[in-house]
Amino acid sequence: MEPVALPLGRPREERADAARNRAHLIDVARRMVAELGADKVTMDGLAERAGLGKGTVFRRFRTRAGIFLALLDEEEKHFQQRLLSGPPPLGPGAPAVERLVAFGRARLEFLLEHMVLARASLDPSQPVPLDESPSLFHVRMLLGEACPDVAATGPLALQLVAALEGPVLLYLQSADGPDLATAVDDLIASWQVLAERVCGVS
């Protein structure tokens, strides 16, 4: 995140420079992923190709996985927009259980589309900070609306997010395109059963 206010005495150009560097790095990283594949993109390689110092790249992304997280973040913004103001049942206006089912379908399709980035952005030594997960926020909100009796049960929303994202992130093989699409279709159907059962509507 960019700072919202500049510390005293820091020249304005520095902030603009940082934003330009970020946009430039994201752009170069995206091209490197497309050309070389995510597994060939390194911090050093990115710094060299972007013509920036290694320190700049390190401060920006912290870890190699952070590069892919930043790329995915750009796509996440579009996805979040559909949840906030897109047409129902993904967007507002449908009953909460229907929105939960629609969210699962859309999220699985999103992960299928961005599978390489999503997996490359995982860093088991630096787990996903829960308070920064928009998926968790959304599922918790819908669960609270759809089934307040179970929604208060500790980390149930987190377990549902893991049920939704875990199979794609951790278990599915990525080798075969058509097989993968079928597997994701099966996950979408299965998610509907899971969400409806948890909310007691089936």
Interface with its own copies (CB under 8 A): 39, 119-120, 122, 124-125, 127-130, 133, 150, 153-156, 158-167, 169-174, 183, 186-187, 189-191, 193-194, 197-198, 200
Q: Is 182 exposed, middle or buried (0-12, 13-18, 19+ CB in 10 A)?
A: exposed
User: Rounded to whole angstroms, how far apart are CA atoms 146 and 200?
Assistant: 9
The position carrying tokens 């996440």 is 76
In this complex, which beta carbon is closest to its own copies, that of residue 11 or of residue 178? 178
CB of 202 to its own copies, least distance (A): 9
Cβ closest to its own copies, residue 43 vs residue 156: 156
Please identify, using beta-carbon distances, which residue of 7 and 127 lies nearer to its own copies: 127
User: How many Å apart are CA 150 and CA 97, to the nearest integer?
Assistant: 13
For residue 195, the minimal CB distance to its own copies (Å) is: 10
Longest dimension (CA), the chain: 62
Quote the least distance from Cβ 52 to its own copies, whole Å: 26
Smallest separation (angstroms) from its own copies to the CB of 184: 10
Q: How far apart are the first and last CA of the chain?
A: 42
Residue 43 CA to residue 181 CA, distance in Å, equals 32
**Nearer to its own copies (CB atom), residue 27 or residue 186:** 186
